[in-house]
Amino acid sequence: MKLTSETIRELAISAGIDRVGIVRAESLPLEEERFREWLAKGFQASMAWMTREPEKRADPRILFPGCRSVIVAALNYYTPHEHDPGTQTGKISRYAWGDDYHDVFREKLKILVEKMTEISPDIQTKFCVDTTPFMDKAWAVRAGIGWLGKSTNVITTDLGSWVFLGAVLVDVELEYDDNIVADHCGSCTACIDACPTGAIAEPYVVDASKCISYATIELRDEEIPQSIASNLEGWIYGCDICQDVCPWNRFEKPTLESRFEPREQETSLDLDAIAVLEHEDYVVRFRKSAIKRAKLSGLKRNAKALATNNHRQ
């Protein structure tokens, strides 16, 4: 059997991956220019790691010498549950309800690579899931997975924006897709209008320093800036507002991956419980969860900010 693009798609689906697009590995000069402009405005906030080697992010052949093709994968993570409406809880972003998607997605890509290697033993690969310096959104658009929405989320026509993105870089030529999806945002500004902190600086551009997700996950300061802390709207970890209001998410479909179901049936965290949580219990509670990214100190800080807001109300 020959390793073809069609075979790869079939193998990906059998590995539990929802969408696949395959394109030629090349430089993305326009995307690199836009990324550098974004960095120049300081929109990366304290995420200094994003400033390193932007040229590598824009060219997978630098990231993985010998790379000739990019296999872009999308994984649906939507589960049909709601947040606890109580004021004594903090809402968790939907992507972190279940097991850490890095682990789940890497497992699926590893299975895909193993199946590809069975057909073509000499193939060289590298897979990327979020932590690699790789422009996953730009490549998802290039590969026809979806379009980049004004919220900067990749939006698909059949799953909405509730998808994780990953890729496999390979050193062989394949048959390439040319089905780029048109931008269907049109005149809609729902995501921009709904953001309580004005983090969407302009269509298709997010200022991380104003973003609730950044403040509750990536920011390591002892206190959340007051301009964000007073507008958390109940979020303790991440934020889904721009996705919740997106009209295209009416096409959301429940994922077939059970590991994305809410752990312990929790879509929110009890603020008082987080306030007194000990490190040993934190390690057990959030083992293999994306929530560990915020660290215990971050969760306590976020819970305190929410409790303060509730007290003022």
- Does the structure show a pLDDT above 60 at 313? no
- Specify the pairing of strand 89-92 against strand 235-237: parallel
∠ CA 101-10-178, nearest 5°, is: 90
Q: Would the CA dihedral through 312, 209, 137, 150 be positive or negative?
A: positive
The pLDDT of residue 311 is: 61
Q: Is 301 exposed, middle or buried (0-12, 13-18, 19+ CB in 10 A)?
A: buried
∠ CA 229-231-235, nearest 5°, is: 80
DSSP structure class, residue 89 = E
- Does the structure show a pLDDT above 70 at 91? yes
The pLDDT of residue 85 is: 81
CATH of the domain spanning 5-84+98-170 = 3.40.109
Condensed to tens digits (0 to 9), the pLDDT of residues 189-208 reads 999 999 999 999 999 999 99
Distances (CA, A) of 197 to 19, 140, 225, 233, 312: 33, 27, 11, 10, 19
Condensed to tens digits (0 to 9), the pLDDT of residues 95-116 reads 999 999 999 999 999 999 999 9
The pLDDT of residue 116 is: 97
Place of tokens 């083992």: 287
* HSE-up of residue 265 (Cα within 13 Å, Cβ side): 0
The pLDDT of residue 312 is: 55
CA nearest neighbour of 112 among 171, 166, 174? 166
At 291, the pLDDT band (50, 70, 90 cuts) reads very high
Query: Mean pLDDT throughout 8-31?
Result: 97
- Residue pair 73/20 in contact by the 8 Å Cβ criterion: yes
- Does the structure show a pLDDT above 80 at 310? no
Domain limits, the chain: 5-84+98-170, 190-255+262-312
b/e map of 173-212 (b: 16 or more CB within 10 Å)?
ebeebeeebeeebeebebbbebbebebbbebeebbbbbbb
Condensed to tens digits (0 to 9), the pLDDT of residues 4-17 reads 999 999 999 999 99
Q: How far apart are CA 52 and CA 171, in angstroms?
A: 25
Q: How far apart are CA 111 and CA 16, in angstroms?
A: 9
At 119, the pLDDT band (50, 70, 90 cuts) reads very high
**Single-letter code of the amino acid located at 226:** Q
* Percentage of residues of the chain with pLDDT beyond 90: 94
**Least reliable range by pLDDT among 85-89, 134-138, 150-154:** 85-89
Condensed to tens digits (0 to 9), the pLDDT of residues 263-286 reads 999 999 999 999 999 999 999 999
Place of tokens 């073509």: 120
Q: How far is CA 32 from the centre of its chain?
A: 19
* Percentage of residues of the chain with pLDDT beyond 70: 99
Mean pLDDT taken over the chain:
96
Radius of gyration of the chain (CA): 20
Q: Is 130 a catalytic residue?
A: yes
Q: How far is CA 311 from the centre of its chain?
A: 32
Catalytically annotated residue among 84, 103, 130, 281 = 130
The pLDDT of residue 309 is: 82
Condensed to tens digits (0 to 9), the pLDDT of residues 51-67 reads 988 999 999 999 999 99
